Structures are given as structure tokens and as C-alpha cells.
């Protein structure tokens, strides 16, 4: 019975195996990034980026029609541009990250809509750009896997300056330029993950698996590496359980995964070790020293 | 003296002729490309047709622009599909301060059901297309009575073409063996076609392009395709081809080609007119299913 | 002795209002300089200019060839994200960034240095505490420990003993004197005049402009202190453009 529900679907159907592989790869890349986004108070960046990439995709569409590669490349460029500009403005002016990003992504979105309208068709470009985890072909799987590997490597490289820059930005600014570089590299990583995630799996999954596991991890660990591990684990579990859920019921796959992830999040808010609601209401007795 | 008279006659003739030539064409707005095609065929050069959702556009999720408001404000007749296809239309009409008369071309057609809503793709049955044309003809006559005969003639000629097309489709499909008359497609737009011509369309997603499939839906389709040995899957102009490719890869069903359902293509595409569209679809279907 | 720092008629401020007005002078290499003055005198602003966070409105600050990585700064109200999940040990360890680089691991030697630095500021046993659990004074001492590890040539301390008790202040002052013995240049902004008189050979009395600068005993006289107190703290919204500047540009 349990075997039927939990294992059989993956043995029987290749699309399920591929979906599982994709969601694991996505978790490995997106969850750590999500933890940093959350700690730096940039959790809404994902949604903003989804709109910001439109002019790039539109230009790609203008130049090559409904060519996924061209549109993705365009989307990446637009995403980088917005992330870069927003990052620079936040660092050099009084405007903080959130306002800076909001203004740029809105401008970018308007530009994208204009470009599309000028061309005359109304194909929902973004809809075409956003994929579905149940439709993992070889190429897309490769992209997702490559993306995860790239993310983990780059993150390992910029880990220390990124951490320092996140906790004490002034410190790094006074001694080295590494802070700004790390920050911009991080933003670039966010864009790459998001665009690849959108293209392979759709907005909901790409952004959802970044932010929800990070939120969950906050309630179980007090230190960074612990948080990252828990976030990744939480994302993978959500992916697996969500796929099973989508297989047994009529819930679409993306929302199913995110619902499970949200469920884990709620459970964590209530029962998490670190400041969970139940812990706060019934604290353990205090220690001797 | 001769010269003067000649000049006067010429003047009189030109005065007499110019009003007729200066007679403005009837301004008609059609909601999307297929309806636009019908109106052009019935109205000929007596109508100036503009379409809101152009070639390759997605009429389910269209966002109107201010230019569209102007188009409607200038129109004498508005041709729409109905059956819930143009969800964006009521607000647009409100904004345009609707003065045009509206003809819903599906009036008189009994809709098929898609879930709890009506399936709007009635034009997929060529017989229904005939009713569309009849409704358009009557509306044009009402809006422009002097040209009634012209419209009737055009309509008759076009209806004859549609009749012939209907026969073509039946004949083509009869060449497909019974057991093969099943097809997988991305989007549930061929309900009427399926009913009229006896071919079964199975789709993993809902009627509009918004819905997303669950793993169970996909699994069911794959199981069905494998079990019943359905020969072909078809891609659609709108929607993600990768889903179909996945189903094809996992079931061994061929990718049959692209079917057009909701929009005509541009001039250089496969389906610039309705008749071309139906012909293209039927050729694609038969060549995939015949073996 | 060559100058470590040169203030060349420098004006620093916010929104065109000067917080430090036309300051000129030199800080010798290896100096131990106290910067004192009433609230709003411009001490923090001056330090921000020294470490390069704030660009001068006019004039310049020269750091005598000391690269940015050789400057250690202890800010007054640190812009530190207390909710970030990092331990005291790791936070202080970032002071070693020049040795470990950004990618190197923290080896045994480095770990020992960190432990030593923590002991020197009296925070032994705090290694695994999250920084969010520290009191104001403990935070201050943690930042001090980081400065210790940075091994800098120029050390800028903005009110380093603020939330700290007398005993610990004395311990930390001993560390400062050790830096002085190691020929590092130290600038410290302070409120405690007794501490200044006891430990700092050189003092700059700042009240937006220079009131007095030189040997501590000569600077901290009652006349000088009275003059400093007369400085007005608030910016003058109706102030005109500074006349000295326009004259200078006309002259040029």
C-alpha cells in the first residue's frame, strides 16, 4: 500500500522520475540561495525578477520568434541588468535594496509589455517561457542540473565575503572591494537560478522552493550551515511528497509541491525548536548557568 | 459650344459616379482572426474589417489596448463568438461606450459542455461554421441593407465552399481505420470537431490555456495511450510543446505535427484562412493516423 | 616621523551642512591620538572620512600610502545585523580575512589567534554564542577583538569604551597601549577626559572646527573646553554658502 503510493509511481513512469530528478536538482541550487535571500531581507526578489525578465524575453522573441533558447538568453540578460542596476543604486544612494529593485523591475516589466505590444501579437510570452516540471526533456534536465552545480560551486567560492557582507556590510566596505563583488555575484546567481527555474518549472516552483524552505529552516537551526542543510532537505522532501500528492489527486504538480512546502513551514512555525510558537508557549525550564 | 456641353456632361457623370465610389465601407470589428476571415468572405469589399486578436494570438487571454477601444467606437457592427470565449470583452465594451450592434455568431448553436462551462470552440465543426456565416450575413444585411444582395451572393458562394470542405473532411477521415481515430492534443479545443467527425481528442489540460495538469492526469493519459495504442500526439500553436514531447517519448506515440485551433496564422503560415486551417488540420491528422 | 594622516583643509558633512569644518593638520605615524569634543562635534564624521566611507565636501584626507586593507575601524553604532545566524567565534574570525583569504579554511593557528583575541577582551566562553544574544558592551568587546585580529597599521576607534565597565575598560586600554608600542597609529574618539589625560599623549579637541590640537595637557585646558562647549550642535538651515571656499576659488 505504502509502496504503491510512494514508490510505484516513480518506477512506472519516466516522467515522474525525471520530475523527481529535476526537483532534487532545483532544491540543491535554490534552497541555499533562498536562505541568503531571506537573511538579507530580499525574499520578494523572486517575484520581482519573474516580471523583470520580460523585456529580455520579448527582445528574444522579436529576434527569433518562439525560440526558447533566444528568449531564455534574453531573459537572463534582462535579469542581470535589473539586478545589477538595482544593486548599484542600492549601494551608492540612499535607496535600499527593496525600493531599488522594485523600481527597476517595474520599469523593466513596462518596457517588456511595450515591446510585445509593438510587435502586435499578444501571445502570453511569459506563459510560453514558463515550463512545467512534468515535461522534463533531456535538454531541460541538463540545464537544471548544470544550474545546480554552478550555483553550489559559486556559492562555495563567495561564501565568506557574502556572509560578512550580509552581517556587517560596513566592515567589508572599509577594507576591500570584495563585498560589492560578492553581492553582485550573488544577485547574478539569483537571476540564473530564477530564469532557469522559470523555464524548466514555472514561476511558482522556482521561487517557492527558494523561499519556503528557507523560512522553514529558520525555525530549526541557529546557525547558517545548519539552516542551509535543513532548507535543502525540506525542499527535497516537499518535492517528493508534492509529486506523490499530484499523482494521487488532481492537484497540479507545481502547486502540490509548494503546498507541501508551505505545510512544512506552518508545522515549523508551530513546533520548531527555535522560537516556534509551541516552544514559546511551553518553554523548557531554564538552565543552571 | 460642344466643348462646354462635353464638360458639363463630364461633370454630371463624375458627380453621379463619385457618391457611389465615395460610399464608405461598413466598419466591422471581429473579435478574433477566424471570425475576421468569415466576415471578409461574406462582406467582400463592402466591409472594412478589423480584428482585435490577430493571427497567432490567444483569444482566451487577450488584454485589450486603447487602440481597441477606438476600433470598437468607430465600428458599426461587432462580431463576437460568445460561449465565454471573450472574457475580456464586456469591460472593453463598457470602455468603448458601445454604440455598435453586436452579433454573436454562435446564436442558434447548441453548445457542448466542457466541465461546467460551454466549450467555445464551436467553429471546429464546419457545419457550425456555416451557421456562423449565416449569422454574419444576416447581421451585415441589417447593418447595410442596400448591399443585401451582394452579401447574400457572397455568403451563398462561401457556404458552398464550406459544404465542400465538410465533405472533404469526412472523406479524409473515413480513410483512417476505426481503431486509429484517437489523438492526444495539448488543449481541449477540438470537442466539436470530435463530435462531428467521429474522432476522439484526449487532452491533459482544460479548455483554456491557463490550467495546469496534475501528475495523475499525465499518468492517466500515458497509461491510456499505451493501453489503447493511440498512434499520435499533436502539438498546438499555443501552449508548451514539451509536455506533448514527454508524452510522446514515454508512450512511443508519434508527434503528428501542429494543429491550429484558436487562431489563424499570418499570410505566410500554414493556416491564413479558415478553410486553409481546416485543410491543414485534416491533412496533419490523416497523415499521422493513416499508418 | 612621516605623517600617517594629513587633513588638508577638509570639510565633511551631510547634505551640504558641514559637520567637520575646514580641518587641517597631520597625524604622525605611530601616534596615539584622542579626539574629543562635545556631542555633534564631528568626531564620528571625521572618522568616517578617514576610513573612506564618507567623501569630503571640500578639501582632502590623505592616508600616507596606507592601503584600505591596513585600516581597522571600530564604528560607534555598528550597522550589524544581529539576527544573522553567526557565532561570536566566526564573526571575530572574519578579522583574519587577510590571512585566510576569502576561500581558505580557518586553520589551527588561526583558531588559536581567534581564541586569544577573545580572551584578551574577556569574552572567553562566548565562542559559540550567536551574536544576537550579546549585550551592548559584549558587542563592543567582540568588535574590539576583531580589530585585534586585523593587524592593521592604522586603527580608528569610535567611542570604544562606551558601554563597558571600568575594569574592562582598563584591560582594553592596555591593548591600545600595546598597539601604540607596536608603532601602530591609533585614533580614538572618547568622552572620558580622565582616561584621555591618563593614557593619550596627543589630543585633538574638535568642535566642528579645530579648537586645539597638540599635547594633551596643553589642549585640555578649561578655556579650550569652554570654547568647544560654545559650538552650536544643530545645523543652520538658513546658512549661506561658505565664504572661505568662494574666496579661495576666486583667488585660484
Write the pLDDT tens digit of every residue in B211-232.
677 888 888 888 888 888 888 8
> Taking a C-beta distance cutoff of 8 angstroms, is the pair B276, B163 a contact?
no
> Taking a C-beta distance cutoff of 8 angstroms, is the pair A78, A109 a contact?
no
pLDDT value for C246 = 43
B189 or C251: which leads in pLDDT: B189
Distance CA A140, CA C94 (A): 40
Top-confidence range, A221-235, B102-116, C125-139: A221-235
Say yes or no: A55 contacts chain B, CB-CB below 8 A.
no
Question: If residue B78 lies in a helix (H) or strand (E), which one and from where to where?
Answer: strand B77-80
> Measured on CA atoms in the order A253, A254, A259, A265, is the torsion positive or negative?
positive
pLDDT value for B206 = 39
B33 or C243: which leads in pLDDT: B33
Most distant CA atoms of chain A, gap in Å: 73
Task: From chain C, pick out residues whose CB is under 8 angstroms from the CB of A174.
Answer: 51-53, 68, 71, 73
Q: Which residues pair with B181 in a beta bridge?
A: none
Q: From the list C81, C87, C97, which residue is nearest A223 (CB)?
A: C87
Percent with pLDDT over 70 in chain B:
86
Count of Cβ atoms closer than 10 Å to residue C50 Cβ: 22
List subunits contacting chain C, requiring 3 or more Cβ pairs under 8 Å: A
Measuring CA to CA, how many Å separate C23 from each of B151, C20, C36, C207, C211? 92, 7, 14, 10, 10
Burial state string for B111-121 with b = 16 or more CB within 10 A and e = fewer than 16: bbebeeebbbb
Nearest residue of A to residue C95 by CA position?
Answer: A171
Helix, strand, coil percentages, rounded to 5, for chain B:
55, 15, 30
Nearest residue of C to residue A228 by CA position?
Answer: C85
Q: From the list A120, A128, A137, which residue is nearest B245 (CB)?
A: A137
Distance CA C200, CA C161 (A): 14
Query: Is the CB of A16 less than 8 angstroms away from the CB of B214?
Result: no
Q: What is the pLDDT of residues A93-133, one digit of tens each?
A: 888 777 888 888 888 888 887 887 776 555 566 565 567 78
Task: From chain A, pick out residues whose CB is under 8 angstroms from the CB of C131.
Answer: 167
Q: Which three cell numbers stand for residue A100?
A: 531599488
Q: Which three cell numbers stand for residue A236?
A: 527535497
Task: From chain A, pick out residues whose CB is under 8 angstroms from the CB of B58.
Answer: 122-124
Distance CA C90, CA C184 (A): 25
C210: left (phi over 0), alpha (psi -120 to 50) or beta: beta
**What's the per-residue H, E or C state across B186-210?**
CCCCCHHHHHHHCCEEECCCCCCCC
Nearest residue of A to residue B205 by CA position?
Answer: A252
Task: From chain A, pick out residues whose CB is under 8 angstroms from the CB of C94.
Answer: 160, 163-164, 168, 171
Query: Mean pLDDT throughout B222-251?
Result: 79
Distance of residue A156 Cα from the nearest chain C Cα, in angstroms: 8
Query: Is the CB of A137 less than 8 angstroms away from the CB of B242?
Result: yes
pLDDT value for C188 = 94
Distance CA A181, CA A179 (A): 5
pLDDT value for B230 = 82
Task: From chain A, pick out residues whose CB is under 8 angstroms from the CB of C83.
Answer: 39
pTM: 0.77
Query: Is the CB of A117 less than 8 angstroms away from the CB of B65?
Result: yes
pLDDT value for C146 = 92
Q: What is the pLDDT of residues A165-212, one digit of tens each?
A: 888 888 887 777 777 788 888 888 988 888 878 777 777 778 888 999
Task: From chain A, pick out residues whose CB is under 8 angstroms from the CB of B209.
Answer: 124, 127
Residue C248: which pLDDT band, with cuts at 50, 70 and 90? very low
Task: From chain B, pick out residues whose CB is under 8 angstroms from the CB of A122.
Answer: 53-54, 57-58, 61-63
Residue (of C6, C136, C111) closest to C63 by Cα position? C6
CB neighbours of C236 closer than 8 A, spacing ≥ 6?
Answer: C17
Q: Which three cell numbers stand for residue B2?
A: 460642344
Query: Mean pLDDT throughout C214-227?
Result: 86
pLDDT value for B238 = 54
Task: From chain C, pick out residues whose CB is under 8 angstroms from the CB of A230.
Answer: none
Residue B37: which pLDDT band, with cuts at 50, 70 and 90? very high
- CB contacts under 8 A, A 17-36 vs B, are 18-19
Task: From chain C, pick out residues whose CB is under 8 angstroms from the CB of A160.
Answer: 94, 97, 100, 102-103
Between the CA atoms of A146, A149, A152 and A154, what dihedral angle is there, to the nearest 10 degrees?
-70
Q: What is the pLDDT of residues A2-16, one digit of tens each?
A: 877 888 889 889 999
Say yes or no: A93 contacts chain C, CB-CB below 8 A.
no
Does the pLDDT value for residue A61 go beyond 60?
yes
Query: Is the CB of C91 less than 8 angstroms away from the CB of A167?
Result: yes
Percent with pLDDT over 70 in chain A:
94
Say yes or no: B249 contacts chain A, CB-CB below 8 A.
yes
> Among the residues of A67-96, which ranges form H helices?
68-92
**From edge to edge, which strands make up the β-sheet containing C3-14?**
C17-28, C3-14, C58-62
Residue C1: which pLDDT band, with cuts at 50, 70 and 90? very low
Does the pLDDT value for residue C108 go beyond 70?
yes
Q: Which three cell numbers stand for residue A211?
A: 523561499
> Taking a C-beta distance cutoff of 8 angstroms, is the pair A123, A54 a contact?
no
Distance CA A192, CA A197 (A): 8
Task: Report chain C residues touching chain A, CB-CB < 8 A.
Answer: 51-53, 68-69, 71-73, 75, 78-81, 83-87, 90-91, 94, 97, 100, 102-103, 130-131, 146, 150
Does the pLDDT value for residue B180 go beyond 60?
yes
Q: Which three cell numbers stand for residue B6?
A: 462635353
Residue B167: which pLDDT band, with cuts at 50, 70 and 90? very high
Say yes or no: A137 contacts chain B, CB-CB below 8 A.
yes
Amino acid at each position: 500500500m505504502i509502496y504503491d503510493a510512494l514508490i510505484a509511481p516513480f518506477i512506472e513512469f519516466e516522467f515522474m522520475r525525471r520530475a523527481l530528478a529535476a526537483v532534487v536538482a532545483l532544491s540543491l541550487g535554490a534552497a541555499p540561495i533562498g536562505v541568503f535571500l531571506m537573511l538579507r531581507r530580499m525574499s520578494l526578489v523572486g517575484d520581482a525578477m519573474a516580471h523583470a525578465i520580460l523585456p529580455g524575453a520579448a527582445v528574444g522573441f522579436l529576434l527569433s520568434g518562439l525560440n526558447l533558447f533566444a528568449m531564455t538568453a534574453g531573459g537572463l540578460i534582462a535579469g542581470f541588468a535589473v539586478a545589477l542596476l538595482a544593486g548599484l543604486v542600492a549601494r551608492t544612494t540612499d535607496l535600499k535594496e527593496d525600493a531599488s529593485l522594485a523600481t527597476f523591475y517595474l520599469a523593466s516589466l513596462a518596457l517588456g509589455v511595450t515591446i510585445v505590444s509593438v510587435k502586435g501579437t499578444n501571445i502570453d510570452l511569459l506563459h510560453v517561457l514558463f515550463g512545467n516540471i512534468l515535461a522534463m526533456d533531456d535538454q531541460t534536465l541538463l540545464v537544471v542540473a548544470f544550474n545546480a552545480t554552478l550555483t553550489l560551486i559559486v556559492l562555495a567560492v563567495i561564501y565568506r565575503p557574502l556572509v560578512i557582507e550580509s552581517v556587517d556590510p560596513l566592515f567589508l566596505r572599509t577594507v576591500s572591494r570584495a563585498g560589492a563583488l560578492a553581492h553582485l555575484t550573488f544577485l547574478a546567481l539569483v537571476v540564473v537560478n530564477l530564469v532557469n527555474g522559470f523555464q524548466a518549472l514555472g514561476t511558482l516552483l522556482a521561487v517557492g522552493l527558494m523561499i519556503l524552505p528557507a523560512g522553514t529552516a529558520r525555525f530549526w537551526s541557529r546557525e547558517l550551515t545548519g539552516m542551509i542543510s535543513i532548507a535543502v532537505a525540506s525542499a527535497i522532501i516537499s518535492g517528493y511528497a508534492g509529486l506523490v500528492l499530484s499523482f494521487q489527486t488532481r492537484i497540479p504538480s507545481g502547486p502540490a509541491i509548494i503546498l507541501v512546502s508551505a505545510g512544512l513551514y506552518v508545522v515549523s512555525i508551530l513546533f520548531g525548536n527555535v522560537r516556534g510558537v509551541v516552544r514559546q508557549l511551553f518553554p523548557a525550564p531554564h538552565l543552571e548557568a | 459650344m460642344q466643348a462646354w456641353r462635353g464638360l458639363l456632361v463630364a461633370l454630371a457623370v463624375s458627380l453621379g459616379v463619385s457618391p457611389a465610389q465615395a460610399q464608405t465601407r461598413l466598419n466591422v470589428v471581429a473579435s478574433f482572426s477566424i471570425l475576421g476571415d468569415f466576415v471578409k468572405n461574406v462582406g467582400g469589399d463592402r466591409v472594412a474589417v478589423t480584428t482585435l486578436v490577430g493571427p497567432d494570438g490567444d483569444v482566451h487571454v487577450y488584454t485589450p489596448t486603447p487602440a481597441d477601444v477606438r476600433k470598437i467606437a468607430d465600428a458599426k457592427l461587432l462580431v463576437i463568438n460568445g460561449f465565454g470565449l471573450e472574457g475580456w470583452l464586456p469591460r472593453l465594451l463598457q470602455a468603448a461606450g458601445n454604440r455598435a450592434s453586436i452579433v454573436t455568431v454562435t446564436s442558434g448553436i447548441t453548445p457542448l459542455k466542457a466541465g461546467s462551462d460551454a466549450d467555445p470552440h464551436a467553429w471546429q465543426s464546419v457545419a457550425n461554421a456555416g451557421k456562423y456565416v449565416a449569422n454574419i450575413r444576416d447581421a451585415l444585411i441589417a447593418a447595410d441593407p442596400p448591399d443585401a444582395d451582394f452579401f447574400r451572393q457572397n455568403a451563398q458562394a462561401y457556404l458552398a465552399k464550406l459544404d465542400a470542405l465538410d465533405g472533404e473532411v469526412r472523406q479524409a477521415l473515413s480513410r483512417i481505420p476505426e481503431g486509429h481515430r484517437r489523438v492526444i492534443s495539448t488543449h481541449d479545443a477540438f470537442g466539436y470537431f470530435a463530435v462531428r467527425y467521429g474522432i476522439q481528442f484526449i487532452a491533459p489540460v482544460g479548455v483554456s490555456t491557463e490550467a495546469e495538469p496534475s501528475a495523475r492526469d499525465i499518468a492517466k493519459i500515458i497509461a491510456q495511450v499505451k493501453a489503447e495504442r493511440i498512434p499520435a500526439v499533436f502539438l498546438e500553436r499555443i501552449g508548451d510543446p514539451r509536455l506533448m514531447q514527454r508524452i510522446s517519448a514515454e508512450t512511443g506515440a508519434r508527434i503528428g505535427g501542429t494543429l491550429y485551433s484558436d487562431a489563424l496564422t499570418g499570410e505566410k503560415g500554414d493556416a491564413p484562412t479558415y478553410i486553409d486551417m481546416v485543410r491543414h488540420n485534416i491533412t496533419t491528422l490523416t497523415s499521422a493516423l493513416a499508418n | 616621523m612621516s605623517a600617517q594622516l594629513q587633513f588638508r583643509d577638509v570639510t565633511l558633512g551631510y547634505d551640504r551642512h558641514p559637520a567637520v569644518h575646514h580641518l587641517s593638520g597631520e597625524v604622525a605615524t605611530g601616534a596615539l591620538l584622542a579626539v574629543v569634543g562635545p556631542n555633534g562635534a564631528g568626531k564620528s564624521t571625521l572618522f568616517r572620512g578617514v576610513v573612506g566611507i564618507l567623501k569630503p565636501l571640500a578639501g582632502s584626507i590623505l592616508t600616507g600610502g596606507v592601503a584600505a586593507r591596513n585600516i581597522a575601524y571600530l564604528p560607534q553604532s555598528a550597522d550589524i545585523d544581529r539576527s544573522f545566524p553567526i557565532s561570536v567565534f566566526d564573526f571575530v574570525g572574519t578579522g583574519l580575512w587577510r590571512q585566510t583569504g576569502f576561500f581558505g579554511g580557518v586553520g589551527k593557528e588561526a583558531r588559536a589567534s581567534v581564541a586569544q583575541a577573545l580572551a584578551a577582551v574577556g569574552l572567553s566562553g562566548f565562542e559559540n554564542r550567536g551574536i544576537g544574544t550579546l549585550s551592548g558592551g559584549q558587542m563592543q568587546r567582540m568588535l574590539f577583538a576583531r580589530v585585534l585580529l586585523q593587524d592593521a597599521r592604522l586603527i580608528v576607534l569610535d567611542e570604544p569604551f562606551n558601554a563597558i565597565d571600568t575594569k574592562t575598560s582598563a584591560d582594553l586600554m592596555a591593548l591600545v597601549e600595546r598597539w601604540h608600542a607596536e608603532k601602530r597609529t591609533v585614533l580614538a574618539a572618547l568622552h572620558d577626559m580622565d582616561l584621555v589625560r591618563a593614557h593619550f599623549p596627543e589630543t585633538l579637541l574638535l568642535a566642528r572646527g579645530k579648537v586645539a590640537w597638540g599635547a594633551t595637557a596643553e589642549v585640555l585646558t578649561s578655556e579650550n573646553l569652554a570654547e568647544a562647549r560654545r559650538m552650536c550642535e544643530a545645523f543652520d538651515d538658513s546658512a549661506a554658502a561658505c565664504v572661505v571656499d568662494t574666496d579661495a576659488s576666486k583667488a585660484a
